[in-house]
Chains A and B, each alone.
Chain A
Amino acid sequence: MNEKNRNINGVITPTEKANIFSNSLGFIKKNWIGFTLLASLYAIILVLEQVLPVSSMLFVVLKKGAIYALVAVSMNLCNGFTGLFSLGQAGFMLIGAYIYGIFTIPLEARAAVYQYFDGGIINFTVPVPVALIMAGLAAALFAYLIGLPVLRLKSDYLAIATLGFAEIIRAFFQWDKLGPVTNGSNLLRRFPVFSSTLYPFVVSSICITIIVLLINSSYGRAFKAIRDDEVAAEAMGINLAKHKQLSFTISSFFAGVGGALLAMYQTTVQAAPFKAAMTYEILLIVVIGGIGSVTGSVLSSFLFIACSEWWLRFLDSETYIGSFRIPLLASGFRKVVFSIIIMIIVLFYSQGIMGTNEISIDALLRFFKKLFRKGSKEEAT
């Protein structure tokens, strides 16, 4: 409610600066339910890992879903909250994945990995958390440089230019002359990977929390103002160029971290799969979840991954009932069904699952309270 009274031009006044510290304490106090829920989620995953066999599809879904959730939320920050229609996500993920791979392959494995390039030219490794942050920073740096010329463009021109940059980045990483660093078009492998499902969950929940904090800050309000009306936002004193650049760079930072996590999940990195198709997939996740809803993006990433990796798998295998072969079921049918569902959502439910709403703990509590009250009333009558 007091949001309206706050200034939205992104300038931090001294009083606000003083408030930030007490706010962050207040944040933890206010959101203790959220933290408890998150902790219990971690606990559930830990328990599941003990109970279920390692090969269970559930873990694939949880790992990949967590990674895609991070990437989708980062795309949502740029596309949904700032209204910058950027299609460069796959390119930034590629940078993150490569930076992570390049700097974490153990020294003794380098000769084998860089077998065509005499063991490569980078002769040191950094710890995994540092490499994750480096992956993000490298993606952010590229995004900053790309953003300088490109963010002047509008809607579809911005989309096609960022898509173009992603392709350029991909070509660059496959270049032979850079082989000693990037291993050319060969695989990067044998870098440290995570074994526990908890790892991607912890990393992406930290990142998503940071994004949510950003969205709820004065910067986030400035982003939303730019999305809703650029002219009005500028008239209110928001520096358009600065805020667009900021949103684009931060979004790419988290895409880079997501790319590094994806590299860990896949255990190998190659530039080839980071195509425009990957960006489209993430964009569709964002659309399904609702453009401008963080919880929507998270929810739809898990749904999307669960459907494509697990629940709709049966569509891909030929199935017989007795001797009757169920028609249409064959390799690739899953994706057809999937894309039809997506088209239906795009055409008829353009709001996605959540629209611009969020699932907040307060709202959930209110919902349950209402439900409970209704229940008790009915009992009374």
Chain B
Amino acid sequence: MEFLNTNLPYILAGISVGGQYALIAIGYTMVYGILRLINFAHGDIFMVAGFAMVYLSATLPLYISIPLTIIITVLLGFAVERMAYKPLRTAPRMSIMISAIGVSYLLQNCAWYITSGLAKQYPTIPWISESISIGTATTKIVTVITPILTIVLVIALVILIKYTKIGMAMRAMAKDFETSQLMGVKINSVISFTFIIGSFLAAIGSLLYFTNYATVTPIAGAMPGLKAFVAAVFGGIGSIPGAVIGAFIIGICENIIRMFGWTTFSDAFTFALLIIILVAKPTGLFGEKSTDKV
């Protein structure tokens, strides 16, 4: 109990950051499930959502700027898919991945150009930025909101995938791309829809994440993006509950490592975990059995 009391802030921070990673990780895992593509640009879409919020809230009230941010992010995700991935649908997988890296480079450089490379202060969103005390720890309300919101959104998403027509199409495409195309699934619209959902969740994730961290920089998306991808692999890529659980585990572990004063290694730990899971159990915790990874 003593241990828990002194370390509660770290664990709370871990759960909160885990929830934010989870929201990004879903974008990775869904895109990978369908296109077999690591969308390297996903972390940067998350970063752009942060900047969109910074610029919009400077002139517009919050109740307009938040929905507008989400819409811009979704449009960006859609546009990236249409412009950078769709032309390469029949190309080898390596080319699509290089294209994803190119998009990531482009988005980062655009953000750098627009902001002149300066870190921007993230607007405070009332209520969720207020302080709250849980037991012995004092944190922002956002820390408590994040896991709840994440779980609600994930349940909604799982229901969407299980019980709607488009969800069925997604599952079919994840199973077999060509056959579902033959069965009359409109693959382009389903893929676009996947990117839209992924970007939507990334936008929500960025609202929560940057409220916690207060500044946005052009490279702010790279690290959370990679970590969320690791979370997706850890949970078993293609599986949404897996990605969420993986993200929470990574978020909590990372903060426990910080707690022991090994801050330098908190990023390295995530990648070490990735390599261990890839070597020991490449399908991840909940991944479907397949042999094309190793």
A contacts, CB < 8 Å to B: 85, 149-150, 152-157, 159-161, 163-165, 167-168, 170-172, 174-176, 276-277, 280-281, 283-284, 287, 291, 330-333, 335-336, 338-340, 342-343, 346-347, 350
Contacts and interface: CB of A to CB of B under 8 A. Distances in A.
Contact of B293 (A157, A165, A172, A175): A157
B116 A153 contact: no
Given A155-B93, A171-B264, A280-B101, A164 B271 contact: yes
Majority-rule SS of A interface residues:
helix
Contacts of B160: none
Q: How large is the interface on B (under 10, 10 to 19, 20 to 34, 35 or more residues)?
A: 35 or more
B38 A156 contact: yes
A213 to B, nearest CB: 26
Contact of B294 (A156, A157, A167): A157
Interface centre among B93, B94, B97, B117 (most CB of A within 10 A): B94
A339 B91 CA distance: 21
A276 B267 contact: no
Contacts of A160: 38, 226, 229-230, 233, 274
Contact of B275 (A156, A164, A350): A164
Contacts of B229: 160
B87 to A, nearest CB: 6
A276 B222 contact: yes
B294 A287 contact: no
B58 interface: no
A164 B109 contact: no
Nearest to B271: A164
A343 B229 CA distance: 23
Contacts of A336: 106, 109-110, 113
Contacts of B279: 149-150, 152-153
A150 B275 contact: yes
B98 interface: yes
Nearest to B93: A155
Contacts of B148: none
Given A176-B264, A335-B112, A343 B103 contact: yes
B105 A339 contact: yes
Given A174-B264, A350-B91, A168 B271 contact: yes
25 contacts: A85-B94, A149-B275, A150-B278, A154-B293, A155-B97, A159-B38, A159-B97, A161-B274, A167-B226, A167-B268, A167-B271, A168-B268, A171-B265, A171-B268, A276-B222, A277-B108, A330-B116, A335-B112, A339-B102, A339-B109, A342-B105, A343-B99, A346-B95, A346-B102, A350-B91
